Amino acid sequence: MITLLSLFECADYTNLATKIIRAVPLAVLTNNLLQIYQKYKKLYKNGEYTREVFGHYLDDYVGPTPEHAEFVLENGFYVYTLINKFLDNGTRESSEEEELRELIDQTTVDQFALLYKMGVIGELTKFFKSLFMGVFSMIKHLHEKFKSNPEVNEEDENELDDGDVREIQAQIGKRQLIREAITFFKDKMAHIEVLRDDRIEKVYFPLLPACKHLAKDIRTEFHDKVNRTSTKMKLADLMVHSDYLIQNMEHEEKLSLLFNKYKSIGLLANHVRLWEYGAFIVAIMLNIIILTSYSDKFGDRLGEPHLFQDPNSEETQYGITVLGLLNLVFSGLVVTHFFMKKAPILLSDVWSGFTNQPFSIFKTPFIFMLKVGVSIYRGLKDFDILYNTTIIVFALLGLIVHPFLFFFMLTDFLRINLLKNVVKAVWEPRIPLLLTFLVFCTVQYFSAIIGFTYFYLHYDGGDRCESLLDCFLVTYDMTFKVREQTIMFINDNREPDQLVLSFKIQEE
């Protein structure tokens, strides 16, 4: 297969490719693909696609069973690539060829895909679907364990023999298995088009398990920041960021394996978007209640909230506390998930090899504190980590100190994509804006010096310009203040009238 692929890469498509297609029937390739897929299903019953399914051909590979060592998944990718090469250069006269082309070209649509896009409803749908599947898998596992218990089903232990298994497999049908095999390898392969000898050629390659775990926010961030001035610059930017992207994918893969192993943790971690919606909605409810509950009608204006100023709503503080705890739970789930994804990547080089070093009563604590200091410094430099830490701090302060501190929870508005563009419009040119502000402060400083030297009596008789600092602060403050003037005048009939003119003047 490697030889055939090599011949295709260098072939004259009008000659050699046609000879290869005639020499190797398409049915031979589909039969080989089916055999590899059936062995995969037998050895990996849960359908896992991890690094462990690769590398069985290596000399130093030691599998759980001899059958694992005989299974080479790479052969399946070679066969699937050859099938695509055959279809790209086929005659389109064979019904089998047309059927395979239809299978490869068709896209699979998730029944819940439309619901998943519907915000909170979609996230709730995904959550309850995962919860149902988890409960169903647990019941199925218990049922199989119960059936396989020799004390309970001792007579039925050998109920299914090899003949029954073969009969069940035969009922599934070869056509359906080929369809499954094509779908399996199609989902795990990709291709690019390259220009070679003035001819567009497709290059197929397998997507390693980690490639399926590139986080959407990382991908979006790269697309937003990549240099698009030229194709060369885009490729250079990709190479610069490639190490970080690969590191992120590998870490996401480890988290995915962890969540699949511990279903309860996965149920919480895989639906972090739902917890974000929950924290956001609870924060809005909480601040609306706070806004409509505090007044000085009931004594302590900061300590006795009454919803809508109703004297009978004495349990308002209890409601605020319950919502505050709920907000803390949701925010804690979101922040914990974020730290699980971000911190190991950000601090991997800091803590690398620390646990492998020999313990020293004098050296180890010092190194530990140094690494903690570096970790905190890096965390403070990272805006996302600083923001999420602040979220948790204010959620706790709102419960412990005063509910007014829950106001910071409303900064979740900044996570909305439309508002992100507004924030980005201010944040990205922050250096020019800061320099402009410094120029403004310099002009104000020059004006304050002149005012302090020559016009200090105009600052309310000199009372507000007793020092240069006072002069500077007053000058800066009054630059932004305006007032309305009312002018009295006498008309020709000598009757006093009043004309109110709203105009802006700088107050002296």
pLDDT in tens, the chain (508 residues): 888 888 877 655 557 777 887 888 888 888 899 999 999 988 887 778 888 889 898 888 888 888 888 899 999 999 999 888 888 776 555 667 777 777 777 655 454 444 445 555 666 666 666 666 666 666 765 666 665 544 444 444 444 455 555 565 555 567 788 888 898 999 899 988 888 777 788 888 999 888 888 888 788 888 888 888 888 898 898 898 888 889 888 888 888 888 878 877 877 887 888 888 888 889 999 999 999 888 888 777 888 888 888 888 778 889 999 999 999 999 898 888 888 888 888 887 777 777 777 877 778 888 888 888 888 888 888 777 888 888 899 999 999 999 999 998 888 777 766 677 777 788 788 899 999 999 999 999 999 999 999 888 888 766 788 889 999 999 988 887 755 444 444 444 544 444 444 444 444 3
Q: Which amino acid is at 382?
A: D
User: Quick check: is 98 in a domain?
Assistant: yes
Do residue 94 and residue 187 come from a single domain?
A: yes
Q: Which amino acid is at 29?
A: L
What are the b/e assignments for 342-370, b being 16+ CB within 10 Å?
Answer: bbeebeeeeeeeeeeeeeeeeeeeeeeee
Do residue 276 and residue 255 come from a single domain?
A: no
Do residue 182 and residue 219 come from a single domain?
A: no
User: Quick check: is 493 in a domain?
Assistant: yes
**Those residues with Cβ within 8 angstroms of residue 27's Cβ, 6 or more apart along the chain or in another chain:** 96
Rounded to 10 degrees, what is the CA torsion of 86, 92, 97, 98?
130
Do residue 302 and residue 253 come from a single domain?
A: no
* pLDDT score recorded for residue 310: 83
User: Quick check: is 63 in a domain?
Assistant: yes
User: Quick check: is 139 in a domain?
Assistant: no
Do residue 376 and residue 291 come from a single domain?
A: yes
User: Quick check: is 387 in a domain?
Assistant: yes
User: Quick check: is 133 in a domain?
Assistant: no
Whether residue 372 contacts residue 352, with contact meaning beta carbons closer than 8 Å, is answered with: no
User: Quick check: is 140 in a domain?
Assistant: no
Structural domain including 234 reads 211-261
Do residue 46 and residue 181 come from a single domain?
A: yes
* pLDDT score recorded for residue 157: 41
* pLDDT score recorded for residue 167: 60
What is the number of domains present in the chain? Answer: 4
Rounded to 10 degrees, what is the CA torsion of 445, 447, 449, 451?
-140
Tokens 């029944």 locate to: 111
Do residue 390 and residue 452 come from a single domain?
A: no
Do residue 282 and residue 402 come from a single domain?
A: yes
Residue 294 CA to residue 303 CA, distance in Å, equals 8
Residue 481 CA to residue 485 CA, distance in Å, equals 13
- Domain end (from 400, 427, 454): 427
- Domain end (from 390, 406, 427): 427
Do residue 12 and residue 59 come from a single domain?
A: yes
Do residue 252 and residue 329 come from a single domain?
A: no
Do residue 341 and residue 233 come from a single domain?
A: no
* pLDDT score recorded for residue 169: 53
User: Quick check: is 134 in a domain?
Assistant: no
Residue 502 CA to residue 135 CA, distance in Å, equals 70
Do residue 296 and residue 348 come from a single domain?
A: yes
Tokens 């490719």 locate to: 17
* pLDDT score recorded for residue 155: 44
